[in-house]
Amino acid sequence: MSDHRILLSEREIPKTWYNVVPDLPAPMKPYLHPGTLQPAQPSDMAAIFPMNLIEQEMSAAASIAIPEAVLDILRLWRPTPLVRAVRFERALGTPAKIFYKNESVSPAGSHKPNTAVAQAYYNKEAGINRLTTETGAGQWGSALALACNLFGMECMVYMVRCSFDQKPHRRTMMQAWGAKCVASPSELTNSGRKMLSEDPDSPGSLGIAISEAVEEAAGRKDTNYSLGSVLNHVLLHQTVIGQEALAQLKIAGAYPDVVIGCCGGGSNFAGLAFPFVPEKAAGKKVRLMAVEPTACPTMTKGVYAYDFGDKSGMTPLIKMDTLGHDFIPPGIHAGGLRYHGMSPLVSLLHRAGVVEAASYPQLKCFEAALKFAGAEGLIVAPETSHAIACVVDEAMKAKEETKDKTILFNLSGHGHFDMGAYEKYFEGGLEDYHYPEEKVREALAHLPRAS
């Protein structure tokens, strides 16, 4: 039997990113200019993104070379381990084999630095020395702070208010890497001030924080904007995860029946799952499961339509699974999964039946995470706990059916900055939140007319 932890040497970090676009079952719908409703041109995005990233965003190349300067930083923690969770299997009493890709080993504690480093690099190449961004749970903001610091750039982070209050230590972490972090909505932007005038106690949302960060970047020549999920180039940068996993599974002599990732904007799920899309197209029987919270059921309750990526309607219109850009999800602790939309690539694959979606309530997720911590030691982020809840269900199904099954999931981040959420769970202070149907209808009534 092979090792439980399958490690690759740094020379085995993938040298290219895998682009799913040429392998899509249908062509991607173009982004639309929010004013003209015509397909957005590269120049439409040039106010906030560098041209090299815009080219990646629109690329149909099968793969894109990873620059040496990016690889040089990725090797601080990559390749990440692929681990066979033998103790978790035993605890569940399942015949299933469970593997996880441990992305929590990065300095920022999640998969997010995979794209943060690439985005900082391309902006620096384009002569930009300052980036703005939003963050929900703080994983993305930390990752961009880390990446900017490594390239000697400035970083400004708008953090969703409810997460900012839940996790003050994330802010300090960003500060340790030289970044500035403020609660959103803030008084620093028009978007923020408008929200605060409507609701001074707004818990914030990713949509609002994006509006603030985009507004600041659009208004300053020295500053660009950086997004931690959703967009094509972000998902592209995450495909190192799945490529490594494929190489590691080969060493383990295993192949997954199901690949599972939690899904907020789609980047950790896609990073692991997209490299399996051509395998599936070539006849491999592998299921790709995207897991979201019942409190923000973008794929399972939303519609597939053109919508804004942000609250204020400053972004291009994106054809995606959405709950409507007016939707503000309840303040659940999986802050990274509180987004009204979904990556257009994941949405397309979902609607084409290549990707399955499931939603889980948070109590079941915490329960699964604690079972995992008791068996494997690792305490995961609330986002990741959604993937684990689904793993448990798949493993128990295998048990009932006394079937061999191999499960692969993405351990997207650790929970070291989420102990407040666990504390609330222990105190019985957490409730499940199922998104009510009438709120879906209400939010969807405000979709832009292009939808």
Q: Residue 395 and residue 289: Cα distance in Å, rounded?
A: 14
User: Given the complex with a second copy, which of 423 and 442 has the nearer CB atom?
Assistant: 423
The span of 31-39, 55-63, 371-379, 393-401 binding a second copy (CB under 8 A) equals 371-379
User: Given the complex with a second copy, which of 277 and 378 has the nearer CB atom?
Assistant: 378
List 20, 54, 71, 108, residue binding a second copy (CB under 8 A): 108
User: Given the complex with a second copy, which of 78 and 301 has the nearer CB atom?
Assistant: 78
- What does the block give as tokens for 43? 């120049």
Q: Is 146 in the site for a second copy (CB under 8 A)?
A: yes
Q: Is 175 in the site for a second copy (CB under 8 A)?
A: yes
Q: Residue 155 and residue 131: Cα distance in Å, rounded?
A: 5
List 42, 403, 426, 436, residue binding a second copy (CB under 8 A): 426
Q: Is 250 in the site for a second copy (CB under 8 A)?
A: no
Q: Is 75 in the site for a second copy (CB under 8 A)?
A: yes
For tokens 């029946």, the residue is: 257
Do 147 and 141 meet the contact criterion of CB atoms below 8 Å apart?
A: no
List 21, 61, 370, 396, residue binding a second copy (CB under 8 A): 370
User: Given the complex with a second copy, which of 401 and 423 has the nearer CB atom?
Assistant: 423
Q: Residue 177 and residue 155: Cα distance in Å, rounded?
A: 9
Question: Beta partners for 359?
Answer: 292
Q: Is 35 in the site for a second copy (CB under 8 A)?
A: no
- What does the block give as tokens for 275? 């490299």
Exposed, middle or buried by CB within 10 Å (0-12, 13-18, 19+), for 440? middle
Q: Which of 74, 209, 192 is nearest to 140 (CA)?
A: 209
Q: Is 251 in the site for a second copy (CB under 8 A)?
A: no
CA angle 278, 309, 270 (to 5 degrees): 20
Q: Is 30 in the site for a second copy (CB under 8 A)?
A: no
Q: Is 68 in the site for a second copy (CB under 8 A)?
A: no
Do 244 and 19 meet the contact criterion of CB atoms below 8 Å apart?
A: no
Q: Is 352 in the site for a second copy (CB under 8 A)?
A: no
Give CA separation, 385 vs 110, 333, 359, in Å: 13, 11, 12
Report, in Å, the least distance between residue 13 CB and a second copy: 11
List 134, 216, 376, 394, residue binding a second copy (CB under 8 A): 376
Binding-site string for a second copy from residue 154 to residue 173, where x marks contact by CB under 8 A and - marks none: --------------xx--xx
- The sign one gets for the Cα dihedral 346, 350, 351, 354 is positive
Q: Residue 222 and residue 47: Cα distance in Å, rounded?
A: 10
Report, in Å, the least distance between residue 52 CB and a second copy: 24
Report residue 353 CA to chain centroid gap.
20
Task: Kindly list the residues in this chain that would bind a second copy in the complex (CB under 8 A).
Answer: 3-5, 7, 9-11, 75-77, 87, 105-109, 146, 149-150, 168-169, 172-173, 175-178, 370, 373-374, 376-379, 414, 416-417, 419-420, 422-423, 426
